[in-house]
Structure 1
């Protein structure tokens, strides 16, 4: 086993874990200090980000569990849709800041969640790249 792949796997899993933990800690800290909650629009945007992130994670897990040839383009398209949504919601948040509809702390939390979801998705794709090579070796060895 290539040590680079092993360390790459550990880095990706650790980054996913840290991003997930960061989301939880930011939200807990924000609401433990009784800061204002998200607007309905922000909640809807975050729900959509969560749905896209979960979809990417789910489809990646299916590919990893089945150990079949990975449809990397499909996962990359899901990632690109997520990034497009993040860019759109970033512009929306800028507008909310400009009209004072979102406080600084809430904006920091909102951006933190968006960026952590992007990091989770990027590192999930990194894992898929690492494992994709081992699946190709398995297919060659078994003749499938």
Structure 2
């Protein structure tokens, strides 16, 4: 499992170095309005359909970063964990989050625009959105995601 995690982290780091503009790798400051944000396809570690924009820092390197994800209506992320603390702010839409190893829509909590979720490293959670939703992740790199059920990992189907 450690080898897979190391390989996944290495692949994620390489992907973010390619996708992140040079100005975002060593930021002095960032000032951006919503119209200034450039969206790209989400990382291969997330199910297809997500879009991302790195607003500050570099998710592939050690240090603080801020990234937005735009998730289409009907989007789901199976149960997973992250290796570091993660703070998720809902920018628009509604973010439904379930805690624990099983994804039960009846047990999910809806977090509305302006709401915040803070999770400790290793917290098992899953996501579902019913409408287009934008969230902002504030955390430390290198960013990683590990699916509780390895068969749910979209990197395995590529």
Q: Determine if the TM-score, normalized by the shorter chain, exceeds 0.5.
A: no
Greater share of helix residues, 1 or 2?
A: 1
Instruction: Specify the structure having the higher radius of gyration (Cα).
Output: 1
Greater share of strand residues, 1 or 2?
A: 2
Q: TM-score, normalised by structure 2?
A: 0.27
**Larger RCO, structure (CA 8 Å, separation 6 or more):** 1
